Amino acid sequence: MGAAQTVWGLNDPVQRLLMFGLPIDSGAPNQIYVLNYQHLGTSQSISSSPPFHPSFAGKLIATDNSRKWTHWLRTMNGASRMYRSSGQLVNVFFGGNGQSIGDAPGLGNVYTMNPAIFTDDDFGQIYPYYTTYFFLDPQTRQALQIKGGRLLLAYILAQIQPMPGDTNSQITLTYYGDSLSNPWPLTTTRVLTPNFYKDRNMGGGMAQGERIAIRIASSPVPGGTSPTDNSFICTRFEAFFRNARILISGVNQ
């Protein structure tokens, strides 16, 4: 809270993003928390559309037309909508180092976002990832007639593509049993060949747990055209489960 006066906010009404530079355990903003409010046309609809809402039966339901949050690990002291040329209004970010201004040297540049560039000019390689929720909720288990306490991740179908112009990316799927600090020892890696229009078929590493979350992360292809360029776009993701051979963990601690 001692750095509360360093917080900044920016609204991009074209992409419908609200961005907030926040000092997370730091003397100046070192992360950007981004709120996506697409399909929410008024301030009232934004305020009344949380990421999930309770149903009549009390179940929490996530819908498409809701507030969606993410965070960018970038140390920016401020941001503004600025004209870089006639009629071109863009988001411009002011570089920082995550420390109180004047405490230490840092990059003094300003930055814009370019979807055709896959490596940051100053910060280097970008590490995109997305982590799902923990499959499966009790209602889905009942509908699929999965009766055991433990699940086995059989396989995955996913529509995942690289960003347009990127020919240097691969994705790695990491499986987490019961906790995001408990990764399964096996992972799955696929090279993102462009213009691949079918769902990618991937094994689940025989991952097991009472609940399983899946993280998708991209990285450069070893020996590829660039040591740092990477990206991915995921538009569909479906995981298939069955009962594990051992229905309960047997742990009593």
Q: pLDDT tens, 86-106?
A: 888 999 999 988 888 778 887
pLDDT digits (tens, 9 = 90+) for 133-156: 998 877 777 777 777 678 899 999
- C-alpha of 70 from chain center: 6
**Hey, which bits of 63-182 come out as E strands?**
68-72, 76-85, 88-95, 110-111, 119-120, 124-125, 129-131, 151-161, 169-177
Q: What is the pTM of this model?
A: 0.85
Q: Please give the Cα distance from 250 to 245 (Å, whole number).
A: 13
Mean pLDDT of the chain: 89
* pLDDT over 70 (residue 253): no
* 19-24-29 Cα angle (round to 5): 55
Beta bridge partners of 211: none
Helix (H) or strand (E) holding 142: helix 138-143
Q: Is the pLDDT of residue 173 over 90?
A: yes
Phi, psi of 165 (to 5 degrees): 95, -10
pLDDT(250) > 70: no
Considering only residues 94 and 51, tell me which one the structure prediction assigns the higher pLDDT.
94
The first and second tokens of residue 41, run together, are 């046309």
Write out pLDDT tens, residues 205-247.
999 999 999 999 999 999 999 999 999 999 999 999 988 877 6
Dihedral, CA of residue 67, residue 232, residue 217 and residue 69, to nearest 10: -10
Token output for 38:
């697409």
Stated as kind and residue range, the H or E segment containing 20 is strand 17-22
Place of tokens 């990491």: 174
